[in-house]
C-alpha cells in the first residue's frame, strides 16, 4: 500500500513556489499523459495538445464538470525527454493568491492527479536520466536524511495530537473490520453464527473523522485568513463601514498596484482571524458606468471572497428595489452574503427580515454585525484551543475525505445488505487512506485484532 | 545419477511434488518413513474450508491431485459462507480417511516414472562446492543421488509428542520421528526453529449419545473440487455438534498446571487461530461454552474426531473433561489428544520458487516451511515439484503473484515475511480476493499449468468452452431487456439474482448453474472488480522492477540498518517484494531504485541520457498567445 507512493507512472502535482500570497505562482505537473489530461480542463485544448516541447500556451483552466473558470494561466509545455523531470510535464503559471492556488490544486486532484511526495520530482528527474551522478548522490542524500531523522515518513509529518486522534479513529475502523473479517476468515459454524455488523461504530468513526475534517476550515481560517468584500450602491455607506471595521485594530490600507482603482484593499484582524477587506469600486460606482474589465475583476473578487457584506441604504427604498433586480441583486441569495440595512439613524422604515440594522455613522448595531461576521466565518466552530487538533494541509484533508467517503459507502452497503466481502473493500479503503497519514496498516494487524478479540477456530 | 529427483516425505506436499515431477517427465523417487502413512489426514478428517478450499481448486487448476483425492473420498460436502459474499465462499468436505490414503497411494503407484521406497532420510548430500545438492543418505545407510531434492518432512523432523507429563520422540502418535535430518541441516547453516501444533482425542462412535447433540448435515448436492468433471455422487454422513460447559472449564482450570504448554516444556509456538481447549479457557474466561464438532473419521470405522478440543493435558484430565460434555458422558477414548513439536525451516531462506538460497537444487515445501494444514502443504508441494522440474529442464521458475492465486499470497508471505507461528491461509491475507474466487481458479491457473507441461490439453479445452458459455450468458444479460432495463442493470441491484430472471429469460436455463452464477458475479460486482483491477495494475508495476539476487546492499548508503539486514536476509526479487518486508520503508525503496538505476546507467554509459538535453537551453517560445 505504501510503496505505490513512489510509483513513477502516477500523474503528480505540486506547488513549486512558496506557499503564500504573491503576484504569480507556479504549479508543476508531471507524468506520461498529463498534457492530455490537463487539456480536458483547458480553454484551448488543441493549442495545448499540439504544442511542441518548450512552448508556452496561454488560456483558462476551468472545472470540466461545472465549466466554471478557475484561473487564467500560462502553461509551459515539456514533452518526454525535456524539462526538469525528463518526463512529459507542464509548469502552470497562475495568479499567486492562496485561494486561487488552492482552487487550482483542487482542480488537478479532481482530474485524477495526486500530490507529489517530498523529493518525488527530483526522484523522477533522476529516474529519467536528467541528472548526473553527483546530482543523484544529492537525491540519495535528501531521501536518506529523511529516513535517518524520522522513524517513519508518515509519522514525521504529523503533530503528536493529530497522530493520536487518527490512531483512535483508525482503531475504531479496525474494530469494525475485524468483525467483518472474522466472518470472512471463519465459517458460520466456526464462530457460532453471524456477528452483528457494528454500524454504530462506523457512524461514530465517521462522525469523528468528519469533525476532524471540519477543523480544516478553521485551521485554514486562522492560518491563512479570510476575505470580506463590501458591496452596495454609492451612498449606502460602505466607506463608513470600511473605516469602522478598520478602526478597531491596527490596519493597513493600500491601493492595488498595476490596475485602475478598481478596489481598495485593507488588512485587519477580527477576533483573531486575519482578514482582508475589499471595498469594491466596481460596485461602489453606478452600475451603468462600469467598464467590462472592472466588472470582471469585481466578479472575480466576489467569487473568491469568504464573506460578502451587502449594504442597503435604509433611506432609499427605491434604490433598494432596483438593486434587487440588478446583477448585484443575485448576491442576496448567496449563502456568503450578510445583508446590512444601514443608516438606521435616518431611516423611518423597518429593516427587512434577515438583515442587520446598522448605523455605521454612530456605530449602533456594529457589535452585533461583528459577532455575525465571526460566527459566519467560523461556521459554528469555536476558535481552536492551543491543544485542539486541526487539519492544516490539503494532503491530510484529501486522505481524510477519501476515508470518510469510504465509510459512508460502507454504511450504505451494510444497510443495503450487500455481502460482507464487498463491505470489507470500503473499510480497507478507509484504513488505507488513514494509513497513508499514520503509517501502514497491514493484513497482519487485522489478524492480530481478530485473534485477540474473538474466540475462533474449530 | 540414480534419479532425476528425490522427494522426501509422502504427505500432502510430497504427493503433489512427486506427481508433478514424474508427470513432467522426470525419473522421481519418493522416500517415505511408512508406505502405510501416505496421504494420511493426521488431524481433521476434512479438506477445504475458507481460502483453503480455494487452494485445493488452485492445485487442481494447475494439474495437481488433491481435488481428485477428496472428490473420490468425501462423505459430506458444504459450501461455506454462502451469505457472506462471493469472494469468500469456499467448499469444504469431510473425508473418509482410509479411502483418501488408499487413493493417494494407488495414484502414486500407478504413476509412470515414479518409484516409492520406505526409509528415513537423515542427511542431504552436497557437491564438493558445498552449495549444490546431489542426493540424500538414509537411516539404513543408502546413498541415493539425484539432481534435485524436494523436502517435505511435515511434523516429523525431530518431532516430539506431549500428553501431560508424557513425552516421546514421534511425528504422529505411534510413529517414530525423523531424527538426524534437522541437526544435519542446522550444521549446514540453515536456520531451524520449533513450532507446535495439536490434535484432539478420537472417541468410539457406539459410546456416544447422538440424541443429546445437534445434527449437522451437509449440503444436499455435492460439488467437485476438481474442474475436470461436473458431478460427485457419493453417500453422505452427518456431523454432530455439542458444547463444553462450566464443569468442563472448571476441570481444565484445576489442572492447567499439568499442561506441558503452561509448564514451559513446549518451546515451539502454537497456532493462535486453532487454539487448544486449555488456551480457549484461559484466554476467554467469559465464555461459558465452546463448540465441539463430532466428525466421523470415515466409513467402516468407529473413530470419531472431536473438533474444537485439541489438548496436551494428561489423559486422566482428558477423560474427566470429555465426560463432562453433553453426549460424551460415556465416551470411550480410543486415541488421546496430544501436542506435537517439530523443527521447521525459516522460510525466508527460500526464493519464491521454494528453492533454498543456500543449497542449489534443494526445494522445501509444506509444514517444514512453518505452515499448517493439508491444503497449504499441497499447494507448496505442487509449486516445489513444478519448479524442481523447471530447474531440471533449465526453464524459468513458475512464481504465482499475490494477485492471481492464494497460493501466490501464501508463498510470498512465507518467503518475504517468514512466520513465527504455524501459518494458516486466511482470506484476509489476500489483498485482491475478489479476483481469487474458487470458481475462477481454472481461468487464473490452468493456462500456466499447461504452459509448464503439467496440465493436460483436455483441461484447456474444457476451460475454453466454459469461458465461451459464460461469455454467452453475459451477452444475454446485456442485450435482453425487462421493462426497459437490461438484465445486466437489473442484477446489479443487490436484491436481484440471476435466478430471479429465469421466468422472463428462459434461455438462461440452457446454461449450468455454475456458469450462470459466475456470469452473475462478474456482472454484479463489475465496479468493484474494475476498482480492484486498477489496484492490481499498480501492484504489478512494482513487482516488475527486478532486483538481482546478488545485489550488494552493503554498498548502498542511506538505507536504514534494519532495512539492510532484512534485505540481505530475504534477497527480494523485485522492488514490490522488497516493499513488503517489514522494516523496509518507502525511503529505502527510493534509494534502492536510484542505486539500481545508477548501476544500469554505468553499464550502458551515460551518452544516451545526456543527448536529449540539447534543446532545453535553446528555449524556443512562440510567445504568449
The DSSP result for A23-53, as a single string, is SEEEEEEESTTHHHHHHTTBS-HHHHHHPPT
Q: Which residues contact B106 (CB under 8 A, 6 or more apart)?
A: none
Predicted pLDDT at A391: 66
pLDDT band at residue A204, thresholds of 50, 70 and 90?
very high
B525 touches chain A (CB under 8 A): yes
Q: Do domains B202-340 and B545-608 have the same CATH topology?
A: no
Same domain? For A289 and A308 the reply is yes
For residue A329, the enclosing domain spans 224-378
Which one has a higher pLDDT value, B211 or A320? B211
Q: Which of A9, A152, A419 shows the shortest C-beta gap to B585?
A: A152
B583 touches chain A (CB under 8 A): no
Predicted pLDDT at B609: 34
Range of lowest pLDDT (A218-227, A231-240, B446-455, B474-483):
A218-227
Between 3.40.50.300, 1.20.140.10, 3.90.1170.50, 2.40.30.260, what CATH number should domain B202-340 receive?
2.40.30.260
Distance in angstroms (rounded) separating the CA atoms of residues B336 and A424:
41
The CATH number linked to A255 is 3.40.50.300
Predicted pLDDT at B136: 97
Distance in angstroms (rounded) separating the CA atoms of residues A238 and A112:
43
Q: Which of A3, A52, A144 shows the shortest C-beta gap to B589?
A: A3
B457-531 has which CATH code?
Answer: 1.10.10.1800
The CATH superfamily assigned to B545-608 is GidA associated domain, C-terminal subdomain (1.10.150.570)
Q: SS3 of B527, please?
A: helix
pLDDT band at residue A439, thresholds of 50, 70 and 90?
low
Distance in angstroms (rounded) separating the CA atoms of residues B369 and B154:
9
Which one has a higher pLDDT value, A443 or A112? A112
Nearest partner of B409 among B425, B389, B388, B392, judged by Cα = B425
pLDDT band at residue A134, thresholds of 50, 70 and 90?
very low
Average pLDDT (B440-457) is 97
* φ, ψ for residue A113, nearest 5 deg: -90, 165
pLDDT in tens, B114-150: 999 999 999 999 999 999 999 999 999 999 999 999 9
Distance in angstroms (rounded) separating the CA atoms of residues B441 and B57:
6
pLDDT in tens, A44-67: 999 999 999 999 999 999 998 888
Say if residue B422's pLDDT is above 90. Answer: yes
User: B291: which chain A residues are within 8 Å (Cβ-Cβ)?
Assistant: 189-190, 192, 458
Q: Which residues contact B261 (CB under 8 A, 6 or more apart)?
A: B196, B270, B276, B278, B279, B312, B339
Task: Starting at the earlier edge strand, list the strands of the sheet with B90-95.
Answer: B46-48, B90-95, B74-80
Which one has a higher pLDDT value, B217 or A226? B217
pLDDT band at residue A223, thresholds of 50, 70 and 90?
low
Distance in angstroms (rounded) separating the CA atoms of residues B191 and B403:
29
pLDDT band at residue A148, thresholds of 50, 70 and 90?
very low
Beta strands A337-342 and A356-358 are parallel
Range of lowest pLDDT (A154-158, B304-308, B476-480):
A154-158
Same domain? For A37 and A110 the reply is yes
- State whether B51 and A2 contact (CB < 8 Å): no
Nearest partner of A114 among A393, A440, A398, A391, judged by Cα = A398
User: B430: which chain A residues are within 8 Å (Cβ-Cβ)?
Assistant: 443
The CATH number linked to A201 is 1.20.120.430
Size (chain B), residues: 625
Average pLDDT (A351-366) is 82
Query: Cβ(A153)–Cβ(A77) under 8 Å?
Result: no
Determine which helix (DSSP H) or strand (DSSP E) holds B479, and give its type and residue range: helix B457-479
Query: Cβ(B19)–Cβ(B39) under 8 Å?
Result: no
pLDDT band at residue B599, thresholds of 50, 70 and 90?
low
Interhelix angle A160-185/A420-438, rounded to 10 degrees, is 160
Say if residue A400's pLDDT is above 70. Answer: yes
Same domain? For A29 and A115 the reply is yes
Domain regions of chain B by residue span: 202-340, 457-531, 545-608
- Rounded (5°) CA angle A287-A292-A298: 70
Distance in angstroms (rounded) separating the CA atoms of residues B14 and B22:
12
Which one has a higher pLDDT value, A146 or B388? B388
Which one has a higher pLDDT value, A384 or B409? B409
Put simply, the chain A residues between 143 and 202 with a CB less than 8 A from any chain B CB are 143-144, 146-148, 152-153, 181, 183-190, 192
Say if residue B425's pLDDT is above 50. Answer: yes
Which one has a higher pLDDT value, B552 or A22? B552
Same domain? For A402 and A340 the reply is no
Predicted pLDDT at B178: 87
Range of lowest pLDDT (A39-53, A265-279, A315-329, A348-362):
A315-329
Determine which helix (DSSP H) or strand (DSSP E) holds A312, and give its type and residue range: strand A307-313
Query: Cβ(A30)–Cβ(A86) under 8 Å?
Result: no
Across chain B, what does the average pLDDT equal? 90
Put simply, the chain A residues between 100 and 119 with a CB less than 8 A from any chain B CB are 117, 119
Q: Which residues contact B451 (CB under 8 A, 6 or more apart)?
A: none
Predicted pLDDT at A284: 43
Query: CA torsion sign, B353 to B359 to B364 to B369?
Result: negative
pLDDT band at residue A301, thresholds of 50, 70 and 90?
confident
Distance in angstroms (rounded) separating the CA atoms of residues B132 and A351:
96
Predicted pLDDT at B243: 95
Predicted pLDDT at A125: 74
Q: SS3 of B389, please?
A: helix
Predicted pLDDT at A82: 84
Range of lowest pLDDT (A63-77, A215-229, B383-397):
A215-229
> Has residue A61 been placed in a domain?
yes
Task: Starting at the earlier edge strand, list the strands of the sheet with A12-15.
Answer: A55-62, A69-78, A89-95, A24-30, A12-15, A114-115
User: A57: which chain B residues are within 8 Å (Cβ-Cβ)?
Assistant: 625
Last residue of a domain, one of A358, A378, A398: A378
> Has residue A383 been placed in a domain?
no
Report the chain A residue with the minimal C-alpha distance to residue B85: A419
Query: Cβ(B359)–Cβ(B126) under 8 Å?
Result: yes
Of all residues in chain B, the percent with pLDDT exceeding 90 is 72
Query: Cβ(B575)–Cβ(B593) under 8 Å?
Result: yes
Nearest partner of B312 among B416, B525, B168, judged by Cα = B168
Same domain? For A181 and A275 the reply is no
Distance in angstroms (rounded) separating the CA atoms of residues B407 and B274:
21
B286 touches chain A (CB under 8 A): no
User: B50: which chain A residues are within 8 Å (Cβ-Cβ)?
Assistant: 184-187
Nearest partner of A338 among A303, A375, A301, A363, judged by Cα = A375
- Which residues, in sequence order, are bridge partners of residue B95? B74
Determine which helix (DSSP H) or strand (DSSP E) holds B133, and give its type and residue range: strand B133-138
> Has residue A233 been placed in a domain?
yes
Q: How many domains does chain A have?
A: 3
Average pLDDT (B428-445) is 93
DSSP for residue B207 = G
pLDDT band at residue B600, thresholds of 50, 70 and 90?
low
DSSP for residue A194 = P
User: A190: which chain B residues are within 8 Å (Cβ-Cβ)?
Assistant: 291
Same domain? For A262 and A371 the reply is yes
User: A83: which chain B residues are within 8 Å (Cβ-Cβ)?
Assistant: 616
User: A84: which chain B residues are within 8 Å (Cβ-Cβ)?
Assistant: none
Same domain? For A270 and A289 the reply is yes
Q: SS3 of B394, please?
A: coil
Distance in angstroms (rounded) separating the CA atoms of residues B77 and B63:
22
Last residue of a domain, one of A316, A346, A378: A378
Average pLDDT (B575-587) is 82
Distance in angstroms (rounded) separating the CA atoms of residues A415 and A54:
54
User: A42: which chain B residues are within 8 Å (Cβ-Cβ)?
Assistant: none
Predicted pLDDT at B365: 98
Min CA distance, B469 vs chain A (Å)? 26
Which one has a higher pLDDT value, A402 or A449? A402
- State whether B579 and A3 contact (CB < 8 Å): yes
- State whether A189 and B291 contact (CB < 8 Å): yes
Query: Cβ(B115)–Cβ(B109) under 8 Å?
Result: no
Same domain? For A101 and A207 the reply is no
Alpha helices in B110-157 (DSSP H): none
Query: Cβ(A291)–Cβ(A284) under 8 Å?
Result: no
Predicted pLDDT at A379: 67
Nearest partner of B595 among B587, A369, B9, judged by Cα = B587
DSSP for residue A389 = -
A451 touches chain B (CB under 8 A): yes
Predicted pLDDT at B477: 94
Same domain? For A42 and A82 the reply is yes
- State whether A418 and B542 contact (CB < 8 Å): no
Predicted pLDDT at A135: 53
Across chain A, what does the average pLDDT equal? 75
- State whether A422 and B528 contact (CB < 8 Å): yes
Nearest partner of A264 among A249, A285, A248, judged by Cα = A285
- Rounded (5°) CA angle A393-A396-A400: 135
Same domain? For A238 and A315 the reply is yes
Average pLDDT (B333-357) is 96
Say if residue A157's pLDDT is above 50. Answer: no
Same domain? For A167 and A143 the reply is no
A42 touches chain B (CB under 8 A): no
Range of lowest pLDDT (A286-295, B364-373, B489-498):
A286-295
pLDDT band at residue B535, thresholds of 50, 70 and 90?
confident
The CATH number linked to A90 is 3.30.1360.120
Distance in angstroms (rounded) separating the CA atoms of residues B511 and B469:
7
Q: Which residues contact B41 (CB under 8 A, 6 or more apart)?
A: B47, B95, B97, B100, B101, B374
> Has residue A234 been placed in a domain?
yes
Q: Is B290 left (phi over 0), alpha (psi -120 to 50) or beta?
A: beta
Range of lowest pLDDT (B34-48, B65-79, B186-200, B536-550):
B536-550
Predicted pLDDT at B503: 92
Predicted pLDDT at A3: 37
Say if residue A288's pLDDT is above 50. Answer: no
Which one has a higher pLDDT value, B610 or B452? B452
Q: Which of A152, A416, A422 shows the shortest C-beta gap to B85?
A: A422
Predicted pLDDT at B142: 97
Query: Cβ(B251)–Cβ(B320) under 8 Å?
Result: yes
CA A378 to chain centre: 15
Q: SS3 of B114, please?
A: strand
B214 touches chain A (CB under 8 A): no
Interhelix angle A443-453/A160-185, rounded to 10 degrees, is 70
- State whether A74 and B84 contact (CB < 8 Å): no
Put simply, the chain B residues between 100 and 129 with a CB less than 8 A from any chain A CB are none
Last residue of a domain, one of A131, A149, A167: A149
Same domain? For A144 and A164 the reply is no
Put simply, the chain B residues between 26 and 55 with a CB less than 8 A from any chain A CB are 44, 49-51
Predicted pLDDT at B260: 87
Amino acid at each position: 500500500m505504501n510503496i505505490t507512493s513512489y510509483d513513477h507512472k502516477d500523474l503528480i502535482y505540486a506547488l513549486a513556489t512558496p506557499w503564500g500570497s504573491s503576484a504569480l505562482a507556479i504549479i508543476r505537473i508531471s507524468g506520461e499523459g498529463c498534457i492530455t489530461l490537463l487539456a480536458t480542463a483547458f480553454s484551448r485544448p488543441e493549442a495545448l495538445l499540439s504544442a511542441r516541447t518548450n512552448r508556452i500556451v496561454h488560456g483558462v483552466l476551468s472545472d470540466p464538470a461545472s465549466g466554471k473558470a478557475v484561473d487564467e494561466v500560462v502553461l509551459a509545455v515539456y514533452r518526454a525527454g525535456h524539462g526538469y523531470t525528463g518526463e512529459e510535464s507542464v509548469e502552470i503559471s497562475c495568479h499567486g493568491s492562496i485561494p486561487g492556488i488552492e482552487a487550482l490544486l483542487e482542480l488537478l486532484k479532481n482530474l485524477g492527479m495526486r500530490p507529489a511526495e517530498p523529493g518525488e520530482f527530483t526522484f523522477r528527474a533522476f529516474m529519467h536520466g536528467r541528472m548526473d551522478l553527483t546530482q543523484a548522490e544529492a537525491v540519495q542524500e535528501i531521501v536518506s536524511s529523511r529516513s535517518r531523522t524520522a522513524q517513519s515518513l508518515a509519522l514525521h509529518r504529523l503533530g503528536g495530537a493529530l497522530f493520536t486522534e487518527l490512531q483512535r479513529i483508525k482503531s475504531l475502523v479496525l474494530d469494525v473490520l475485524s468483525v467483518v473479517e472474522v466472518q470472512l476468515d471463519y465459517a458460520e459454524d466456526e464462530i457460532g453464527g453471524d456477528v452483528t455488523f457494528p454500524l454504530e461504530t462506523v457512524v461514530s468513526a465517521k462522525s469523528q473523522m468528519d469533525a476532524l475534517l471540519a477543523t480544516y476550515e478553521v485551521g485554514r481560517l486562522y492560518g491563512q485568513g479570510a476575505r470580506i468584500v463590501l458591496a452596495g450602491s454609492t451612498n449606502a455607506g460602505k466607506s463608513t463601514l470600511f473605516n469602522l471595521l478598520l478602526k478597531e485594530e491596527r490596519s493597513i490600507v493600500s491601493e492595488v498596484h498595476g490596475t485602475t482603482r478598481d478596489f481598495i484593499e485593507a488588512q485587519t484582524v477580527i477576533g483573531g482571524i486575519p482578514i482582508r477587506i475589499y471595498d469594491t469600486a466596481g460596485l461602489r460606482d453606478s452600475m451603468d458606468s462600469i467598464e467590462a474589465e472592472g466588472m470582471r475583476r469585481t466578479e472575480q473578487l466576489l467569487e473568491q471572497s469568504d464573506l460578502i457584506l451587502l449594504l442597503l441604504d435604509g433611506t432609499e427604498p427605491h434604490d433598494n428595489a432596483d438593486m434587487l433586480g440588478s446583477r448585484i441583486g443575485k448576491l442576496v441569495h448567496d449563502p456568503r452574503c450578510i445583508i446590512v440595512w444601514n443608516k438606521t439613524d435616518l431611516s423611518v422604515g423597518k429593516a427587512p427580515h434577515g438583515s442587520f440594522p446598522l448605523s455605521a455613522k454612530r456605530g449602533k448595531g456594529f457589535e452585533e454585525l461583528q459577532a455575525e461576521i465571526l460566527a459566519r466565518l467560523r461556521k459554528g466552530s469555536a476558535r481552536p484551543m492551543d491543544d485542539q487538533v486541526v487539519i492544516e494541509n490539503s494532503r491530510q484533508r484529501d486522505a481524510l475525505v477519501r476515508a470518510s467517503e469510504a465509510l459512508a459507502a460502507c454504511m450504505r452497503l451494510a444497510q443495503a445488505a450487500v455481502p460482507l466481502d464487498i463491505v470489507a473493500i470500503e473499510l480497507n479503503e478507509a484504513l488505507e487512506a488513514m494509513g497513508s497519514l499514520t503509517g501502514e496498516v497491514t493484513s497482519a494487524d487485522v489478524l492480530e485484532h481478530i485473534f485477540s478479540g474473538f474466540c475462533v477456530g474449530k | 545419477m540414480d534419479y532425476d529427483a528425490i522427494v522426501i516425505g509422502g504427505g500432502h506436499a510430497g504427493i503433489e511434488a512427486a506427481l508433478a515431477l514424474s508427470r513432467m517427465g522426470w525419473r522421481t523417487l519418493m522416500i517415505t518413513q511408512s508406505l502405510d502413512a501416505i496421504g494420511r489426514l493426521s488431524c481433521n478428517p476434512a479438506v477445504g474450508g475458507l481460502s483453503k478450499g480455494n487452494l485445493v481448486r488452485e492445485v487442481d487448476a494447475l494439474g495437481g491431485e488433491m481435488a481428485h483425492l477428496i472428490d473420490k473420498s468425501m462423505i459430506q460436502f458444504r459450501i461455506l459462507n454462502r451469505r457472506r459474499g462471493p469472494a469468500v465462499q469456499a467448499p469444504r468436505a469431510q473425508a473418509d480417511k482410509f479411502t483418501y490414503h488408499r487413493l493417494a497411494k494407488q495414484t502414486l503407484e500407478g504413476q509412470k516414472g515414479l518409484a516409492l521406497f520406505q526409509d528415513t532420510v537423515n542427511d542431504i548430500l552436497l557437491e564438493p562446492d558445498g552449495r549444490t545438492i546431489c542426493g540424500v543418505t538414509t537411516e539404513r545407510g543408502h546413498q541415493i543421488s539425484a539432481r534435485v531434492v524436494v523436502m517435505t518432512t511435515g511434523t516429523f523432523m525431530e518431532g516430539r509428542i506431549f500428553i501431560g507429563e508424557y513425552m516421546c520422540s514421534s511425528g504422529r502418535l505411534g510413529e517414530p520421528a525423523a531424527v538426524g535430518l534437522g541437526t544435519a541441516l542446522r550444521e549446514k547453516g540453515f536456520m531451524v526453529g520449533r513450532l507446535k501444533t495439536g490434535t484432539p482425542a478420537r472417541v468410539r462412535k457406539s459410546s456416544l449419545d447422538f440424541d443429546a447433540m445437534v445434527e449437522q448435515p451437509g449440503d444436499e448436492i455435492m460439488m467437485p473440487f476438481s474442474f475436470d468433471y461436473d458431478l460427485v455422487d457419493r453417500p453422505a454422513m452427518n456431523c454432530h455438534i455439542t458444547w463444553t460447559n462450566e464443569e468442563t472449564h472448571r476441570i481444565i482450570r484445576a489442572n492447567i498446571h499439568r499442561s506441558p504448554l503452561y509448564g514451559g516444556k513446549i518451546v515451539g509456538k502454537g497456532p493462535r487461530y486453532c487454539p487448544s481447549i486449555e488456551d480457549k479457557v484461559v484466554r476467554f474466561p467469559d465464555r461459558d461454552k465452546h463448540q465441539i464438532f463430532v466428525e466421523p473419521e470415515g466409513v467402516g470405522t468407529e473413530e470419531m474426531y472431536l473438533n474444537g478440543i485439541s489438548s496436551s493435558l494428561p489423559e486422566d484430565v482428558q477423560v474427566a473433561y470429555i465426560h463432562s460434555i453433553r453426549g460424551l458422558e460415556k465416551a470411550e477414548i480410543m486415541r488421546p489428544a496430544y501436542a506435537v513439536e517439530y523443527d521447521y525451516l525459516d522460510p525466508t531462506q527460500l526464493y519464491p520458487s521454494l528453492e533454498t538460497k543456500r543449497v542449489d537444487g534443494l526445494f522445501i515445501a509444506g509444514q517444514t516451511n512453518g505452515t499448517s494444514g493439508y491444503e497449504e502443504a499441497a499447494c507448496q508441494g505442487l509449486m516445489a515439484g513444478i519448479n524442481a522440474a523447471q530447474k531440471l529442464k533449465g526453464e524459468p521458475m513458475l512464481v504465482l503473484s499475490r494477485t492471481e492465486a492464494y497460493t501466490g499470497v501464501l508463498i510470498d508471505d512465507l518467503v518475504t515475511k517468514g512466520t513465527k507461528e504455524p501459518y494458516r491461509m486466511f482470506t484476509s491475507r489476500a489483498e485482491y480476493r475478489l479476483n481469487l474466487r474458487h470458481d475462477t481458479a481454472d481461468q487464473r491457473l490452468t493456462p500456466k499449468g499447461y504452459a509448464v507441461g503439467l496440465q493436460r490439453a483436455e483441461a484447456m479445452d474444457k476451460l475454453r468452452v466454459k469461458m465461451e458459455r459464460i461469455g454467452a450468458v453475459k451477452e444475454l444479460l446485456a442485450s435482453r431487456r425487462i421493462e426497459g432495463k437490461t438484465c445486466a442493470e437489473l442484477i446489479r441491484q443487490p436484491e436481484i439474482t440471476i435466478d430471479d430472471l429465469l421466468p422472463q429469460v428462459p434461455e438462461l436455463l440452457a446454461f449450468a448453474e455454475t456458469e450462470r452464477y459466475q456470469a452473475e458475479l462478474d456482472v454484479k460486482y463489475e465496479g468493484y472488480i474494475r476498482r480492484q483491477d486498477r489496484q492490481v495494475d499498480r501492484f504489478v508495476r512494482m513487482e516488475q522492477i527486478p532486483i538481482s539476487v546478488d545485489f550488494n546492499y552493503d554498498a548502498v548508503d542511506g538505507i536504514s540498518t534494519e532495512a539492510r539486514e532484512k534485505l540481505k536476509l530475504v534477497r527480494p526479487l523485485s522492488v514490490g517484494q522488497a516493499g513488503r518486508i517489514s522494516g523496509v520503508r518507502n525511503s529505502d525503496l527510493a534509494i534502492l531504485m536510484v542505486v539500481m538505476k545508477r548501476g544500469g546507467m554505468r553499464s550502458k554509459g551515460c551518452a544516451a541520457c545526456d543527448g536529449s538535453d540539447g534543446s532545453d537551453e535553446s528555449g524556443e517560445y512562440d510567445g504568449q498567445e
